[in-house]
Amino acid sequence: MTLLSSRLPGFHKLTLDERWHSLAVAAGLDAAELALLADERPLPLATAIGLAENTVGLLALPLGIGLNFVVNSKAVLVPMVTEEPSVIAAASNAARLALAGGGFMADADPSVMIAQIQLCDVADPEAARLRLLAAEAAIRASVDRAAPGMARRGGGARGVEVRVVDAPLGRRFVVVHLLVDVGDAMGANALNSIAEACAPEIAEIAGGRAALRILSNLADRRLARASVEIPFATLGTASLSGEAVAFAVEEASLFAEADPWRATTHNKGIMNGIDAVALATGNDWRALEAGAHAFAARSGAYGALSTWRSGALGLVGRIELPIAVGTVGATVEGNPRTQLALRLLGNPGARDLGGILAAVGLAQNLGALRALATEGIQRGHMARHARAVALAAGATAGQVDAIAEALIQLGDIKVERARVLLREAGA
């Protein structure tokens, strides 16, 4: 799919039928794909039963489209699954600002993941470490034998690392890291199988007992990065110059870089965007969260995943974090809507998808920081929250806007107040 533009002006004002038509034109969706979007049954129960244990039903979440994104000079429509108001709007608005600077630049490392093998009861850990490093060639060959298909596709073993870990209670473990390129897969199942297959040989070399054999979700060999520069003229508001907004965003960034309490909320905003795309594309958002937050604390103190600086010509933002995502595998290929989400993104490989997620996270972060630095976060957020409150109170599609506006005017955005307004409207 070649997308000429991700700009769909007025998309949020369109009816659902009009949105489908606009999306079909922009992305070249066929009738079957449009029918999939319109189908209110998100997943066949027969499929759901195979994905999770004790399945008794389905829980649906909204699938929206992040607009205005240009990543590496290529327009992309970004599928996002979230229940939180303002997330998609904030990302889309920030991406629109980024257009003035040419959009986002992004890249991602090769898909190298870590499988860990914990060795216990090793008599001489340091000597065992040296023996294991000397046996790297044999261990790498064992990795490739455990996953021959991966090796044939150009992936497979990339290295062996050995650490001696001093643990509580005076215990010492030898920990082996098998570095494996998993290609376009997220790689969890493959890594776990490799670790289990290679553990007996590794334990024998070390002279110890193999205990845990599992991947690490701190995928720090699989980093993704994105950057953006937004001209000052684009950043300005009715009351603040672009330079003033950029300086305020920089101050907010410095706060997050220095203070873990602020950094936690700063990074949560980043993950609002990344998680939403991960959900839409069938990826493990919990693994992404774990890896991102561990990476944010890699120096020993928890810090910000992104930085913003006021440069000579505009505001410059950068982000780097682990993003282990896949575009193949059972959870992706077994869900038609996940496949449709990847098609909307242009069917990227895992590395390209990682770069897109980094760009979305940076956009989400910009949207939040700009709002915080200017009008405050609540104004736009609560305006969108009012719609959700109106729906929760039982408003029909034709009533939602009027009830939401009345709630905002009253300054009382609560479900019970919305129910009172609905009763009054029906009187």
Instruction: Reply yes or no on whether 257 is catalytic.
Output: no
Contacts of 16 (CB under 8 A, 6+ apart): none
Phi and psi torsions of 130, nearest 5°: -65, -40
Distances in whole angstroms, Cα of residue 222 to Cα of each of 88, 114, 235, 288: 26, 10, 32, 11
Q: Could you tell me if residue 72 is left (phi over 0), alpha (psi between -120 and 50 degrees) or otherwise beta?
A: left
Q: Nearest Cα to 371, choosing from 225, 272, 260?
A: 272
Instruction: Reply yes or no on whether 17 is catalytic.
Output: no
Q: What is d(CA 156, CA 149) in angstroms, rounded to the nearest whole number?
A: 9
Instruction: Let me know: does 108 contact 323? Beta carbons within 8 Å.
Output: yes
Question: For 412, what's the count of Cα atoms within 13 Å in the CB-facing half-sphere?
Answer: 8
Instruction: Let me know: does 310 contact 373? Beta carbons within 8 Å.
Output: no
**Burial class of residue 411 in the structure, from the number of CB atoms within 10 Å of its CB (0-12 exposed, 13-18 middle, 19+ buried):** exposed
CB neighbours of residue 316 within 10 Å: 18
Residue from 12, 84, 177, 196 carrying the catalytic annotation: 84
Instruction: Reply yes or no on whether 381 is catalytic.
Output: yes
Give the strand order in the sheet containing 209-215. 156-166, 172-181, 112-120, 209-215
Q: Work out the widest C-alpha separation in the chain, in whole angstroms.
A: 84
DSSP states of 299-367: TSS---SEEEEE-SSEEEEEEEEE----SSSHHHHT-HHHHHHHHHTT---HHHHHHHHHHHHHHHHHH
Q: Nearest Cα to 130, choosing from 201, 200, 204, 206?
A: 206
Instruction: Let me know: does 112 contact 407? Beta carbons within 8 Å.
Output: no
Instruction: Reply yes or no on whether 284 is catalytic.
Output: yes
Q: What is d(CA 139, CA 225) in angstroms, rounded to the nearest whole number?
A: 31
Contacts of 68 (CB under 8 A, 6+ apart): 6, 7, 92, 93, 95, 96, 98, 99
Residue from 184, 250, 275, 284 carrying the catalytic annotation: 284
Contacts of 417 (CB under 8 A, 6+ apart): 407, 410
Q: Catalytic amino acids?
A: 84, 268, 284, 381
